[in-house]
Structure 1
Amino acid sequence: MSFKIAIIGAGSVGFTKKLFTDILCVPEFRDIEFALTDVSEHNLGMIKAILERVVEANNLPTRVTATTDRRKAIEGARYIISCVRVGGLEAYADDIRIPLKYGIDQCVGDTICAGGILYGQRNIPVILDFCKDIREVAETNAKFLNYANPMAMNTWAAIEYGKVDTVGLCHGVQHGAEQIAEVLGAKSPKELDYVCSGINHQTWFIELRLNGRKIGKDELVAAFEAHPVYSKQEKLRIDVLKRFGVYSTESNGHLSEYLPWYRKRPDEITRWIDMSDWIHGETGGYLRYSTETRNWFETEYPQFLEAASKPIDPAKRSNEHASHILEALETNRVYRGHFNVKNNGVITNLPQDAIIESPGFVDRFGINMAAGITLPEACAATCISSINVQRMSVHAAISGDIDLLKLAVLHDPLVGAVSTPEEVWQMVDEMVVAQAAWLPQYAHAVPAARERLSKSKVKTREWAGAARRSVRSIEELRAEKAALKQAG
């Protein structure tokens, strides 16, 4: 087979390499072209060298090109994969820093909450530019695979306004299933069969079977509470499991910021999180992790290049959906996964226009969703709260309506649990002014927002958050990695 895959935001080096090697684990895909594109020529050069080293080491005919001209990369592509972070770490730092001034403590801040909503405002105009290029210069009926957060908002915009065949992809379901299989004592995650459905990052394991035996709430609670690690790291998820009756896919820290109950006060935050790793609830944890990862890659690049010389091992193919979807579409080998698509009746008690994440099957006819799923009422209620925020956020991003943007932020569950309307109005003004370079649709609103800020009497505070850690130096990271290696 010979076709072209364009990867937008290919400077996300580690993830791009994973997608690349996964796809090349499919024997029929050895003779394809990867067109890499990114706004950073520096990052493009590094990832292109790494992927060319993989091709050379495995004696493959695969072609790798790289260009900052996105339209050229998309031209003739059958599949377009997006891994973009519009505004980079600079804008992301404001997604965390500014809400903290108003008492909003986020662990990740890239899906909803104040940070995730502003992230969507930056991404959606760019996503629509991608879609325009796809419609005009990609292969006819090209498929857009979106890995970028905020997943639901980006996918919603691409389908509803970009008019492109789009699927959103995430790995939260797979990771949650691996945890459940482990606590239940399974020898392999493949022993666990499950139905997991909801919306991205709020997906629920509504049916579990281990080797055909149905697993109930009480058994699952007992298994998690008995686990020596997860019982400490996943306290919040276990509490939600006890109250809702089903386990959530999302990590302890990420889940905490989608709900109005666990991060509303500093003492509650420290009660429910675990500081053994960023993902369990640390203030700005993902920002710290992303910053350290970028610094590590820049410093240790020669090691990454050397590691690319190893042979591709199909047995180590990851459970990221992209390669498996492409394999099913091109070879008709059926794949079952969990996909972000427009609801259209798939989940009976969620809005029809929402972007849901639910089971489906892929073959040469496309992605076929399992329809007629009904969520437990508490799960549906929690999802609907986020869907309403997502819908307003998408419409605000399309229209450039700053008042609608403020209403979207006001209706966010965690923001509403922490901040007053006056605080929300000022916070959004401050974020829009700070991120004006990446928010072209709000250019008309920035002068008035700046004027309001100059006259505002709403009090803020300089606050690092309930559980903030400093970015570690390269020397500290080296010492930690050495200690872990020595420990075995």
Structure 2
Amino acid sequence: MSFKIAIIGAGSVGFTKKLFTDILCVPEFKDIEFALTDISEHNLGMIQAILDRIVEANGLPTKVTATTDRRKALEGARYIISCVRVGGLEAYADDIRIPLKYGIDQCVGDTICAGGILYGQRNIPVILDFCKDIREVAETDAKFLNYANPMAMNTWAAIEYGKIDTVGLCHGVQHGAEQIAEVLGAKSPRELDYVCSGINHQTWFIELRLNGRAIGKDELVAAFEAHPVYSKQEKLRIDVLKRFGVYSTESNGHLSEYLPWYRKRPDEITRWIDMSDWIHGETGGYLRYSTETRKWFETEYPQFLEAASKPIDPARRSNEHASHILEALETNRVYRGHFNVKNNGVITNLPQDAIIESPGFVDRFGINMAAGITLPEPCAATCMSSINVQRMSVHAAIAGDIDLLKLAMLHDPLVGAVSTPEEVWQMVDEMVVAQAAWLPQYADAVPAAKERLAKSKVKTREWAGAARRNVRSIDELHAEKAALKQAG
């Protein structure tokens, strides 16, 4: 087989390498072309060198090109994968810093909540540019695989306004299933059969079977509470399981941002999170992790390049969906996964226009979703709160409507639990002004926002959050890695 895959945001070095090696685990794909594109020539150069080393070490005819000219990368592409972070770490820092001034403490801030909503405003104009290029220069009926957050908003915009065949991909379901299999004592995650459905990062394991035996709420709660690690790291997630009756895919820290109950007071935050790793609820945890990871990669690049000389091992192929979807579409080997698509009747008690995440099967005819799923009412209600915010956020981004953007922010569950309308209005003005370079659709709204900020009497505070950690230096990261290695 010979076709072209374009990866936008290929400077996301570790993730691009994973997707690349996963795809090359499919024997039929050795002759394909990868076209890498990014706005950073520096990052592109590093990732191309790594991928070229992999190709050379494995004696493959695979072609790898890299260019900052996105349209050139997209020319003739059959599949386009996006893993972009619009605004980079600079804008992301504002997504965390500014809401903290108004009492909004986020762990990740990239899906909904204050940071995720602004992230969507930055992404959507760029997503529509991608879609325009795909329509004009890619292969007819090219498929767009979006890995970038905010998943639902990006996918919504690409399908509804970009008019491109799009699927959103995330690994939260796989990770949640691995946890459940572990606490139930399974020898392999493959022993667990499940139906997981909802919206991205609020997906629910509504049916569980271990080796054919149905698993109920009480057994699952007991298994998690008996686990020596998860009982401490997933306190909030276990509490939701007890109250809702089903387990959520999303991590303790991320899930806490989507609900109005657990992060609205500093003392409550520290009660429900765990500081053993950023993902369990640390204030700005993913921003710190991303910053440290970037530093680590830049410093340790020679070792990453050396590691690329190892043979590809198909047994180590990851459970990221992309390679399995491409394999199913191109070879007709059926793949079952969980995909982000427009609802259109898949989930009976969520809106038809919403982007849902639910089970589907892939073969040469495309992605075929399992329709007619009904969520438990508490799960549907929680998803609806986010869907309404997502819809308004997408419409605000398309129209450049700052008033609708403020209303979307006001309706966010955590923002509404913490901040007053006056605070929300000022916070949005402040965020739009700070991020104006990445928000072209709000250019006409920025001068008035600046005037309002100059006259505002809404008080803010400089607050690091309830559980903030400093970004570690390279020396500190080295010391920690050495200590972990010594500990076994």
Q: Same fold (TM over 0.5)?
A: yes
Q: CA deviation at 1:76?
A: 0.2
CA distance in structure 2 between the partners assigned to 1:63 and 1:478 by the alignment: 35
| Distance in 1, Cα, partners of 2:15 & 2:485 | 23
Structure 1 residues 364-412: Cα deviation after superposition (integer angstroms, max 9, x where no partner): 0000000000000000000000000000000000000000000000000
The Cα of 1:186 is off from its aligned counterpart by 0.1
Q: Distance in 2 between matches of 1:300 and 1:446?
A: 41
Q: What CA distance in whole angstroms lies between the structure 2 residues aligned with 1:390 and 1:152? A: 7
| CA deviation string 1:35-75 (max 9, x = no partner) | 00000000000000000000000000000000000000000
1:312-349 CA distance string (max 9 Å, x none) = 00000000000000000000000000000000000000
In structure 2, C-alpha distance between the alignment counterparts of 1:39 and 1:261, rounded to whole Å: 39
Q: How does 1:377-392 map to 2 (within 5 A)?
A: 377-392=377-392
Secondary structure at 1:300's aligned position in 2?
helix
- For residue 380 of structure 1, give the secondary structure of its aligned residue in structure 2: helix
> Helix, strand or coil for the counterpart of 1:279?
helix
Q: Distance in 1 between matches of 2:76 and 2:289?
A: 36
Note the C-alpha offset of 1:484: 1.0
Aligned equivalents of 2:140 and 2:353: distance in 1? 25
What displacement does 1:283 show?
0.1
| Alignment correspondent of 2:226 | 226
Distance 2:364 2:455 in 1: 60
> How far has the Cα of 1:216 moved from its partner?
0.1
Give 1:487 shift.
1.4
1:277-308: per-residue Cα shift (whole Å, max 9, x none)?
00000000000000000000011100100010
1:178-205 superposed Cα distances (whole Å, 9 cap, x missing partner): 0000000000000000000000000000
Write the distance in 1 (CA, Å) between the matches of 2:487 and 2:59.
36
2: CA distance between counterparts of 1:269 and 1:464?
13
Q: Which moved more, 1:122-131 or 1:476-485?
A: 476-485
Aligned twin of 1:67: 67
Where does residue 28 of structure 2 map in the other structure? 28
1:407-448 Cα deviation digits (max 9, x unpaired): 000000000000000000000000000000000000000000
Secondary structure of residue in 2 paired with 1:148: coil
Q: How does 1:28-47 map to 2 (within 5 A)?
A: 28-47=28-47
Partners of 1:396 and 1:56 lie apart in 2 by: 47
Matches of 1:398 and 1:221, distance apart in 2: 43
Which whole-Å CA distance do the structure 1 matches of 2:75 and 2:350 have between them?
A: 37
What is the rounded CA distance, in whole Å, between the counterparts of 1:6 and 1:397 in structure 2?
A: 26
Partner Cα separation in structure 2 for residue 75 and residue 124 of structure 1: 22
Cα distance in structure 2, aligned partners of 1:34 and 1:220 = 43
Map Cα deviations across residues 242-270 of structure 1 (whole Å, 9 max, x no partner).
00000000000000000000000000000
CA distance in structure 1 between the partners assigned to 2:375 and 2:86 by the alignment: 33
CA distance in 1, matches of 2:58, 2:485: 28
Write the mapping of 1:414-453 to structure 2, written as runs, cut at 5 A. 414-453=414-453
SS in 2 for 1:116: helix
- Determine what percentage of the aligned residue pairs are the same residue: 95
Residue by residue, what CA displacement relative to the aligned partner does 1:160-193 show, whole Å, maximum 9, x if unpaired?
0000000000000000000000000000000000
SS at structure 1 position matched to 2:106: coil
Q: CA deviation at 1:223?
A: 0.1
Distance in 1 separating the partners of 2:90 and 2:465: 19
Q: How do residues 148-297 of structure 1 correspond to structure 2 at under 5 angstroms?
A: 148-297=148-297
Bigger CA drift: 262-271 or 477-486?
A: 477-486
Q: Offset of 1:483 from its aligned partner? A: 1.0
Distance in 2, matches of 1:135 and 1:391, equals 24
- Give, in whole Å, the separation in 2 of the partners of 1:184 and 1:484: 27
Q: How far apart are residue 217 of structure 1 and its match?
A: 0.1
SS at match of 1:206: strand
Distance (Å, rounded) in 2 between the aligned partners of 1:467 and 1:279: 12
C-alpha separation in 1, matches of 2:180 and 2:243: 18
1:3-14 pair list within 5 angstroms: 3-14=3-14
Q: Number of residue pairs matched?
A: 488
- Per-residue deviation, residues 125-170 of structure 1 (Å, max 9, x unmatched): 0000000000000000000000000000000000000000000000
How far residue 485 of structure 1 moved from its aligned partner, in angstroms, is: 1.2
How far, CA to CA, are the matches of 1:484 and 1:175 in structure 2? 23
- State the SS of the aligned residue for 1:466: coil
1:97 aligns with 2:97: yes
- Residues in 2 aligned to 1:311 and 1:463: alpha-carbon distance in whole angstroms: 48
Q: TM-score, normalised by structure 1?
A: 1.00
Distance 1:214 1:253 in 2: 28
- Structure 1 CA distance, aligned partners of 2:310 and 2:408? 48
Q: Which residue of 2 aligns with 1:330?
A: 330
- Counterpart-to-counterpart distance in 2, 1:478 and 1:104: 32
Alpha-carbon distance in 1 for matches of 2:167, 2:205? 21
Cα deviation, 1:189-241, whole Å, max 9, x if unaligned, reads 00000000000000000000000000000000000000000000000000000
Deviation at 1:486, TM superposition (A): 1.4
Taking only aligned residues, the RMSD between alpha carbons, in angstroms, comes to: 0.2
Q: Distance in 2 between matches of 1:365 and 1:474?
A: 49
Give 3-state SS (helix, strand or coil) of 1:350's partner.
coil
SS in structure 1 of the partner of residue 429 of structure 2: helix
SS at match of 1:5: strand
- Partner in structure 1 of residue 143 of structure 2: 143
Residue 359 of structure 1 deviates from its aligned partner by: 0.0
SS of the aligned residue for 2:258 comes to coil
Q: How many Å separate the matches in 2 of 1:484 and 1:21?
A: 27
SS in 2 for 1:257: helix
